[in-house]
Amino acid sequence: MILAVTPTPTWYLLLAAVLFTIGGVGVLVRRNPLVMFMCIELMLNAANLSFVAYAKALNDISGQVTVFFTLVVAAAEVAVGLAIIIAIFRRKPGATADDVNMLKG
Amino acid sequence: METVVFIVAAVMVIGGALGVVLRPNPVHCALSLVLTLFGIAVLFIAQDANFLAAVQVIVYAGAIVVLFLFVIMLLGVDKVENLEIDELRGQRPLAAALGVAALGLIVITVFAAGGRRITGQHSVSGTLSGGEPDINVLAHSLFSDYVFAFELTSLLLVIAVVATVLLARRPRPRRRPTEDVAERDEVRQ
């Protein structure tokens, strides 16, 4: 069962769209802050996949350069975000995303 | 052959993503994320982005997910989340509806563009079809056209390290100066 069609860039873009949607719905539905963070990483990976698909389709390395920078920024963001989560959990052990309303009032 | 690779990698990616969203145990979610990241790396290789695939595995799967697991274990949040409770009423159906709408929007955009993907002048020096390995072209482009952004990201990394250390530090217990002196005298005698 060898399919004769080769994957076009559109296939990769559609896969990235589905991955992005799953990540987006995950951020909206889950309440554990770490799992929400992981769903954000899913969305970032979907964007990276789109960029690489376009780099291949347009024959331009700029897409891959963008993915490079996105990876760096994502790593920095995860470090800082997890530090914030640690700081929050020190005050309120067992906090979920609904409990973090300290700016209120 | 490429189709088989694409289908296998797509199954890994989507399966991992569904695992992240649907599993109640956060450690299982982290492991599903690793599956997704490996699927993405395979798709990168299928599109001739070999360097990025390696960096993806090293940085994302090898460092970021490990950091997630550290924090999960440090904070003890690996207790299973109760997925039955819906905090905001109607949140899940609304999220599902929004997800389907967003997916429909993106799919329509991808197909409406058709073959018209050209936006602006193509790069002359940064072409992938020149026969050079992708890492050479990437390095050329990174250190000539994008060197300013490169330096800024190194600055960003330094700032992120400082911020992380500062935020995750244990708060030092404050002592009043008078108590300090009294304690010191006690210890001396």
Q: Where are the domains of chain B?
A: 1-83, 130-173
Question: Residue A1: what pLDDT?
Answer: 54
CATH class of residue range B1-83: mainly alpha
**Six token digits for residue B16:** 């991992």
Contact residues for B38 (Cβ-Cβ < 8 A; gap 6+): B12, B16, B57, B61
| Interface subset of A 30-89, CB within 8 angstroms of B | 30-32, 34-35, 37-39, 41-42, 45, 48-49, 52-62, 64-65, 67-69, 71-80, 82-87, 89
State mean pLDDT over A11-34: 92
Question: Residue B84: what pLDDT?
Answer: 63
CA distance A105 to chain B (A): 21
- Say whether pLDDT at A86 is over 80: yes
State mean pLDDT over A60-81: 93
Question: Residue A89: what pLDDT?
Answer: 82
**Nearest alpha carbon to residue A98 among B93, B170, B85, B73:** B85
Question: Residue B28: what pLDDT?
Answer: 93
**Using CB atoms within 10 A of its CB, is residue B157 exposed (0-12), middle (13-18) or buried (19+)?**
middle
- Say whether pLDDT at A103 is over 80: no
Can you list the residues of chain B whose pLDDT is less than 70? 77-87, 114-130, 174-189
Is the pTM for the entire model greater than 0.95? Answer: no
B55 neighbourhood in chain A, CB within 8 Å: 68, 71
Per CATH, which fold does A9-91 belong to? Helix Hairpins (1.10.287)
Question: Residue B170: what pLDDT?
Answer: 79
Nearest CB to A80 within list B76, B134, B164:
B164
